[in-house]
Amino acid sequence: MKMESRLAQIGSIEEPVTGAVSFPVYQATAFRHPKLGQSTGFDYARTKSPTRKVLEEAIAVLESGDAGFACSSGMAALQTIFAYFSQGDHLIVSLDLYGGTYRLLEKIMARFGVTSTYVDTNDFDALEGAFQSNTKGILIETPTNPLMMITDLEQVCAWAKQKGIVSIVDNTLLTPFLQRPIELGADIVIHSATKYLGGHNDVLAGLIVTKGKELSEQMAFLHNSIGAVLGPQDSWLLMRGMKTLALRMERHEANATAIARYLLTHPLIDEVYYPALESHPGYAVQNKQSSGNTGIFSFKVKDARLVEPVLRHIRLIAFAESLGGVESLMTYPAVQTHADIPLEIRQKVGVDDRLLRFSVGIEHVDDLIADLGHALEQAQAELEGGGN
């Protein structure tokens, strides 16, 4: 069955009693036992609940994994995965990554003796240099957030297997509709499902998918023990959003590509970071391992003084954090999503005070270009007029 059909049919044939094509929200936290020693398969909602079960089975199938786990947020999903590691373990992590992941690793996991080294995961010399005798895992973002760096997953996951370490891939920006890391050798896939999978800026959720019986059993234990699970109402909202994922991702990509090309020749723009552009260094690898591109990209204005007026003058595009919803959002990573990353690290990677991140929605592309063009024009006029 094609991906589009799998997505549209999530939960539609799972309810055997009434035949409801929209799977019900089971609000129950406790479930009756038929008799002593017997169970319906549901005992307590933290361990398993009917609505969440349908979602978890769906994401496992979509990502070609063996088990899925729905968590209360993307960060809760990360914490659940990181609990797999022990005091004294070391992780290799993508150099350019979401600031919240860096915060969790450096401000919390480091306190429990789990250390991290950040490298360009396409640089095998850097990977070998970062590898230690206590290295137990590698966490890869591809594309990275916010600079859209691409990692060759097949090569790096093969390297991880050769080293005997767990490979974890954050697939938030591409979703299983466009990229399936487990098919390329990854052991674990993670999503901030708040983003493209939910797609409507109305549900907070995280998803984990594992490959392999032992790893799946260990993750099930951690998921149940930590208990940061997704509630039934949010599970239902997420499934509803995922039904239209294919349509939305196609529109996100078409809009983002058109706007990125528009900015590429704009006189106020220095650089555009988007792997759909032939000039992007990861263009060939992205085309090899993915069937399309995400709807988010970043760009640098020529003068940092343009940032504030651009954000003030956009109207259709909202100045807001997050990404992946049907509404277009623009973010200033240096003071928002990546503020927890130390200045020297941000500057080394390229997340400076001229960088803006654009999550392109599904509005008409002409309206988005007009809004962005007007904001840039107004910002330039203010700059040239001394702010008047």
Q: Is 195 a catalytic residue?
A: yes
Annotated catalytic residue, options 195, 248, 300, 354: 195
C-alpha closest to that of 249 among 175, 146, 151? 175
Collapsing DSSP states into helix, strand and coil, what is residue 346?
Answer: helix
C-alpha closest to that of 178 among 291, 286, 65? 291
Q: Is 52 a catalytic residue?
A: no
H or E stretch covering 92: strand 90-94
Sole residue written with tokens 């995280």: 206
Sole residue written with tokens 């990861």: 282
Amino acid identity, position 297: F
Annotated catalytic residue, options 89, 96, 152, 170: 170
Q: How many residues does the chain have?
A: 388
Which residues is 189 bridged to in the sheet? 169, 209
The DSSP symbol for 104 reads I
Q: Whole-angstrom Cα distance, residue 28 to residue 44? A: 9
Q: Is 2 a catalytic residue?
A: no
The DSSP symbol for 229 reads B
Please, how many CA atoms are within 13 Å of residue 235, restricted to the half-sphere of its CB? 29
Annotated catalytic residue, options 6, 46, 161, 243: 46
Annotated catalytic residue, options 84, 98, 118, 332: 98
Q: Is 357 a catalytic residue?
A: no
Active-site residues, by number, are 46, 98, 170, 195
